[in-house]
């Protein structure tokens, strides 16, 4: 955990007054979002009526939850395109601010997502390290990943995937991460003033409160639950309904043992003391299907179901930046900014460079379609399930 947290009191540039903070905490805030049009609001309300809440009740079946996931994926493209995606081809020639829209070939087909709630300044330098660029080479200088090289300089953000620290944390701001597809949330411990980066859940905004329950419940939470349930015994069991209402909030890190079945989760941990391994990319999420005393079953976006430790942790909600898949670069230069070099077809190469290369014209002759290293592309079985069985997999994604 070295380097993941930093004391704000020890920072000369980052004090409590320099970090933007709201005086009133909000659990589900929408400040900073653009107002939607009436058409988008109507379509959103129509879909929300047919959706099941984040934490379904006991009468909801897993089949209904799977149908809901398909509905969300099918409807999200239309809503996100109308609400947040901006294309230069649809902008008027003369804008209200007096600027003139210049349509160039590189901006004709570009589609970028507008995120007004993101922090506009630089990150906390003490929570970042220099990202060493390899250009796709290994330690011996051999190319192991093709089509990589160049691009803008980036600093790698140190993200806390463990969430060991107890107590309430306030979200100071939501930041853009040039290395990851998701957004990051800068959180600060209310008592110790330590700050760290976590993966931002969808809908998380500055001023919200998040908490980690990996190592149990804090004394403040226990005292609050006993006060609401009017229990005089300080060592007695907690009211389960009030407990779930307090801990099942967007962005909270909760063990599978306390998560209700069917809840939308991300940053899935696999072992008791391990960090988050699954559902960390933009817009991804999983669902808790079932659980017993020792293990739980989670459903992934691919359709695969697998076992996880019942004492491992996951974060409530889905990962932010769900519109990432709708972006279009618009020009080759944007890919070069990200360090992605052009992909050359095999038939356009010489015979010494690729199995499809050489010959006269564009034909690859009578050769089978294969990769640069000679792996067949069609009909070749890439799995040996007889020897490499995964004992933690309940249902394969291909079934």
pLDDT tens across 372-382, in order? 999 999 988 87
Checking if the pLDDT of 269 tops 80, the result is yes
Checking if the pLDDT of 186 tops 80, the result is yes
Q: Are residues 228 and 356 in the same domain?
A: no
* pLDDT for the residue numbered 243: 86
User: pLDDT of 108-160, one tens digit each?
Assistant: 888 888 898 999 999 999 999 999 999 999 999 999 999 999 999 999 999 99
Q: Are residues 183 and 284 in the same domain?
A: yes
Q: Are residues 300 and 363 in the same domain?
A: no
Which DSSP helix (H) or strand (E) runs through 78?
A: helix 62-83
User: pLDDT of 316-369, one tens digit each?
Assistant: 999 999 989 888 888 999 999 999 999 999 999 999 999 999 988 888 788 899
What is the spatial distance between Cα 101 and Cα 267, in angstroms, rounded to a whole number?
41
Cα end-to-end distance, the chain, whole Å = 39
Coil, helix or strand at residue 210: strand
Residue 272 is assigned to a structural domain of this protein: yes
* pLDDT for the residue numbered 326: 87
Coil, helix or strand at residue 137: strand
Q: Are residues 232 and 361 in the same domain?
A: no
User: pLDDT of 47-69, one tens digit each?
Assistant: 455 444 556 666 666 667 667 67
CA-to-CA dists, residue 378 to 368, 375, 399, angstroms: 8, 9, 20
The larger pLDDT score, comparing residue 86 to residue 191, is at 191
* pLDDT for the residue numbered 101: 73
* Percent of the chain whose pLDDT exceeds 70: 74
Q: Are residues 278 and 130 in the same domain?
A: yes
CA-to-CA dists, residue 125 to 176, 181, 370, angstroms: 14, 20, 45
Checking if the pLDDT of 76 tops 50, the result is yes
Count other Cβ atoms within 10 Å, centred on residue 249: 19
Residue 395 is assigned to a structural domain of this protein: no
Checking if the pLDDT of 45 tops 90, the result is no
Q: What rounded mean pLDDT belongs to the chain?
A: 81
Q: What is the pTM of this model?
A: 0.76
How many domains in the chain? 2
DSSP state of 141: S
Domain boundaries, position 228: 125-316
Residue 365 is assigned to a structural domain of this protein: yes
What is the spatial distance between Cα 281 and Cα 271, in angstroms, rounded to a whole number?
20
The structure tokens listed for 391 are 């004992």
User: Among the ranges 90-94, 232-236, 282-286, which has the highest mean pLDDT value?
Assistant: 282-286
* CATH code for the domain of 369: 4.10.950.10
* pLDDT for the residue numbered 136: 94
Residue 126: half-sphere exposure toward Cβ, Cα within 13 Å: 16
What is the spatial distance between Cα 8 and Cα 233, in angstroms, rounded to a whole number?
38
Report, as an integer, the average pLDDT of 22-35. Answer: 38
Question: 8: closest CA among 170, 240, 153?
Answer: 170
Reading phi first (left if > 0) and then psi (alpha if -120 to 50, else beta), residue 65 is in alpha
């Amino acid at each position: 955990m070295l380097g993941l947290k930093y004391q704000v009191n020890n920072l000369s540039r980052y004090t409590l007054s320099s970090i933007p903070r709201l005086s009133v905490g909000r659990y589900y805030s929408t400040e900073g979002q653009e107002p939607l049009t009436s058409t988008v609001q109507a379509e959103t309300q129509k879909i929300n009526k047919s959706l099941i809440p984040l934490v379904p009740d006991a009468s909801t079946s897993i089949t209904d939850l799977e149908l809901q996931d398909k509905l969300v994926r099918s409807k999200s493209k239309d809503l996100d395109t109308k609400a947040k995606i901006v294309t230069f081809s649809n902008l008027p020639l003369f804008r209200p601010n007096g600027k003139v829209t210049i349509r160039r070939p590189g901006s004709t087909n570009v589609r970028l997502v507008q995120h007004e709630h993101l922090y506009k300044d630089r990150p906390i330098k003490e929570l970042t390290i220099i990202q060493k660029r390899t250009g796709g080479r290994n330690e011996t200088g051999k190319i192991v990943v093709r089509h990589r090289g160049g691009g803008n300089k980036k600093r790698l953000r140190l993200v806390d995937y463990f969430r060991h620290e107890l107590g309430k944390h306030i979200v100071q701001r939501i930041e853009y991460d040039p290395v990851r597809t998701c957004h990051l949330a800068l959180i600060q411990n209310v008592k110790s003033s330590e700050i760290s980066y976590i993966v931002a859940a969808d809908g998380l905004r500055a001023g919200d409160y998040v908490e980690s329950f990996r190592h149990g419940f804090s004394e403040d939470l226990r005292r609050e639950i006993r006060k609401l349930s009017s229990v005089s015994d300080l060592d007695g069991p907690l009211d389960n309904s009030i407990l779930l209402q307090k801990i099942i909030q967007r962005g909270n890190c909760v063990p599978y043992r306390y998560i209700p079945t069917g809840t939308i989760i991300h940053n899935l941990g696999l072992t008791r003391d391990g960090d988050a391994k699954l559902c960390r990319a933009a817009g991804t999420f999983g669902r808790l299907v079932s659980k017993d005393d020792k293990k739980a079953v989670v459903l992934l976006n691919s359709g695969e179901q697998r076992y996880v430790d019942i004492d491992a942790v996951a974060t409530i909600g889905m990962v932010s930046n769900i519109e990432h898949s709708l972006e279009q670069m618009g020009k080759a230069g944007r890919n070069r900014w990200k360090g992605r070099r052009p992909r050359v077809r095999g038939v356009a190469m010489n015979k010494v460079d690729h199995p499809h290369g050489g010959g006269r014209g564009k034909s690859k002759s009578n050769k089978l379609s294969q990769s640069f290293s000679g792996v067949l592309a069609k009909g070749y079985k890439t799995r040996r399930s007889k020897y490499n069985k995964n004992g933690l997999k309940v249902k394969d994604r291909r079934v």
